[in-house]
Structure 1
Amino acid sequence: MATLEELEKRKRQLEAQIQRKKRELAKSERKARNHAVMVAGGLLMAKAPGGDWKSVDWNALAAFIAGHADEISACGTQPLDTDGASKRLREWEKAKRQQV
């Protein structure tokens, strides 16, 4: 039977392992979200005047987006976990590249 000290040590090890796993998951989530944000931004910037982000009137863009929030919300689909959503995005990107 394990001693109290051994159990305490094991508890600390497990807590450290849990914290590492939480950090890994958060990092993975951030990476996937950042990719999605870049793709969404690319869609917007492709329609910028001359395709140049430096010529965007950010107040006008923000007002346009706010004025079309319901239409943007209608673009939603079934939510997936991070891996599934990333896969769906990458498949969409691949299909778009093949169209060109």
Structure 2
Amino acid sequence: MESFGARLKKKRVNKGLTQDELAELMQKSGKAVISAWEKNRTAPCLLDIRKLAKLLDTTAAWLVDGAGDDTTRIPIGFTLIRTKELIELQRQLIKKQGQELRKEK
């Protein structure tokens, strides 16, 4: 069975991230932190595990003990979208609706 560090490294590499890049996304001081996690020298706190799972498109349970699937499950009929993109789409929709309302008057 793979260790936490091995699973972390697998997901990081699959996402095309360097240790430095992941450290920056995690707001850590440098790649030494990520390296220590991947070599099982130290372990991240629960909040960091949850953040890692989100950044690496997996679940905290899979990172910690390999439980379940290594991917985040998306229900059928749903699509993941970044929050900023969703907000921008909502702004565009509101703007368009406003324009259509003005045309009706």
- Give the TM-score normalised by the residue count of structure 1: 0.29
- Scaled by the length of structure 2, the TM-score of the pair is 0.28
Name whichever structure is richer in helix by fraction: 1
* Higher Rg of the two aligned structures: 1
